[in-house]
Chains A and B, each alone.
Chain A
Amino acid sequence: MTAEPLPETAAVYWRPRVDAQGLARRGRLWTLTTVAHTIPYLMASAVLLWLEPLTAPVVFVLLAHAWVIPELYAKRGANVLRPRQRADEGAERTALGLLGDLVGHEARELHARTGAVLERGALGVWVVGEAGALLVTPGGRRAYCWCVRVEDGTLPSADRIAHLLLALRTDEPGFATVANLAFSGAPRRVRRRLPPSLRPALDGAVSTACRNRGR
């Protein structure tokens, strides 16, 4: 990756530029926040059940809350890769030709199956979709889901991916700085919430990230 910063970072000047250490810190903070959301419900459930076993229905509701909050965050993360509305067939075909020129054979084949593109970066392995990207860090133990999109609704699907891919290749930390973090956690939590057609893209990113553990 080149050192030239992405011009879009000027619009988010107050954000510290993303690096591997900062990213790991944000990941830990995200996990801590999720635990902080869950623990009060679990403690309240235990106390209620201890004080009065007849409160079991209330305890059930509390436990459901403790389960659903992390799940909703994971769903929000998975949504960054959700396919958007398609443009007309001709435009999609033209855009697909350009995207195909930008990526290698493996990535082209994966895109045909899943609609997302796999890209290796310095921060980890990226799965780039139409309106967001998912980063699996080296070792494959944590995924970061980023909401980021091109500000033009008329673009065909492959062009939207090409926009994000070119920005990512121009300045990977800048790309992550501009994007909004939607979720951070274990890849398997996102995988459960992904449409089945997209799961091979995440699986590919995790296995590539596992191979890159030592990078």
Chain B
Amino acid sequence: MARLIRMDGSGHTTVAEWHVADEQAIEAAAAAFREQLEAGYYAVVTEGEGQARQVEALPVDADLVILRRPIAGG
């Protein structure tokens, strides 16, 4: 089961879950994904050791998509 999670004050919250064979769940996850991006989150998929990729659309094949807040110089 793939997951879309959002890092927040609770540690992290699972926003959506889907299975590649379940189109309805994918549609719901994609809608939740867009909603989070509109709320100002960035979506990241980790790609092996030391690598990550920012995504603009829900990567259905990914096991885990992480939503993060923007960073800024302190």
Q: Which residues of A are at the interface with B, using a C-beta cutoff of 8 A?
A: 1-2, 4, 6-8, 11-12, 80, 87, 90-98, 101-102, 104, 119-121, 131-132, 146-152, 154-156, 158-159, 162-164, 166-167, 169-171, 175, 178-180
Contact = CB atoms under 8 A, between A and B. Distances in A.
A4 B49 contact: no
Interface string B49-74: 11111100000000010101111111
Contact of B73 (A93, A155, A179): A179
B50 A121 contact: yes
Contact of A97 (B11, B44, B72): B11
Interface size classification for chain B: 20 to 34
B8 interface: yes
A148 B49 contact: no
Contacts of B8: 152, 154-155, 159
Q: Interface residues of B: mostly helix, strand, loop or mixed?
A: strand
Contacts of B44: 166, 170
B10 A91 contact: yes
A8 B50 CA distance: 20
Contacts of B49: 104
A2 B53 contact: yes
Contacts of B46: 102, 166, 169
Interface in B10-49: 10-12, 42, 44, 46-47, 49
Contacts of A148: 71-74
B5 interface: yes
Contacts of A91: 9-11
Contacts of B42: 7
A152 B11 contact: no
A132 B74 contact: yes
Contacts of A164: 71
A1 B72 CA distance: 20
A1 B52 CA distance: 7
Contact of B71 (A154, A169, A178): A178
Contacts of A159: 7-8, 11-12
Contacts of A80: 74
Contact of A149 (B51, B66, B74): B74
